[in-house]
Amino acid sequence: MLPSSPFKRFGDPLEDGLHNGGRRLTPQRRKILELFENIGSGMHLSAEDVHHQLLEANNRISLATIYRTLRLLVDMGFLHELELSEGGHRFELSSHEHPDHHHLVCVRCGRTEEFESDHVIQAGRIAAEKNGFKLLESTLNVRALCPMCQ
Ligand SMILES: [Zn+2]
Ligand SMILES: [Zn+2]
C-alpha cells in the first residue's frame, strides 16, 4: 500500500483550515480554494487560469493577490504546487483521494497528465530508509513535449 501522506489528515479543508497555522481562511482565500474544490482533484491550474475563472464568476481579485493567496494556500497545505520550468507554476488541490500521483508535463504548452507508479513510491521509500529519513511523499514530475508540441 501507499505510505501515509501528510494530506490525509484533512477531512473537509474548509472546516479544518480555519485556523491552520494561526492563519485564517479569509473569504477571499476561501473563494479561491472553493474554485479548486468545485473543479475537482486532478486539475492543474495556473494563477492566470484562476484569475480568468474568478473574473468569469464576477470576482475581481488582482493577479498579484491571487499569486499571494495561492502561495499561502500551499503553505497551509490545501494546495499542492507543481513547478514547470518554462510554463511557470500550476496548482492543484491536495487530495486524500489520490495523494501520491505523478505528473507528465509538457514544457511548451503546460498540458499536464497524471499517472501512478508504485515504482516511484517504492524508490522514494528505499532512499528514505537508507538515509534514515521519514518518508512524507514521493512524487515525480516528468518534463516532456506533448504530441501537439513535438
Ligand atoms: Zn496532479
Ligand atoms: Zn504541449
Dihedral over Cα of 37, 46, 69, 26: its sign: negative
The total of other beta-carbon atoms located within 10 Å of residue 105's CB is: 25
Write the DSSP symbol of residue 46: -
pLDDT at 132: 97
Cα(62) to centroid of ligand 2, in Å?
28
- Distance (Å) from CA 60 to ligand 1 centroid: 27
Nearby residues of 62 by Cβ (< 8 Å), 6 or more positions away: none
Neighbouring CB atoms inside 10 A of 100's CB total 19
Which ligand minimizes its atom distance to the CA of 108?
2
CA of 7 to the centre of ligand 2 (A): 30
Residue 140 has pLDDT above 70, yes or no: yes
Ligand that comes closest to the CA of residue 45: 1
- The alpha carbon of 112 and the centre of ligand 2 are apart by a number of angstroms equal to 9
Considering every ligand atom shown, identify the ligand nearest to the alpha carbon of residue 91 and give its number. 1
Centre of ligand 2 from the C-alpha of residue 148, in Å: 6
Say how many CA atoms lie within 13 Å of 48 toward its Cβ.
Answer: 4
Picking from 84, 17, 6, 101, the residue whose alpha carbon sits closest to that of residue 47 is 84
Summarize the confidence of residues 137-146 as an average pLDDT.
87
What are 10-58's pLDDT values in tens digits? Answer: 445 455 454 555 677 888 899 999 999 888 777 889 999 999 999 998 8
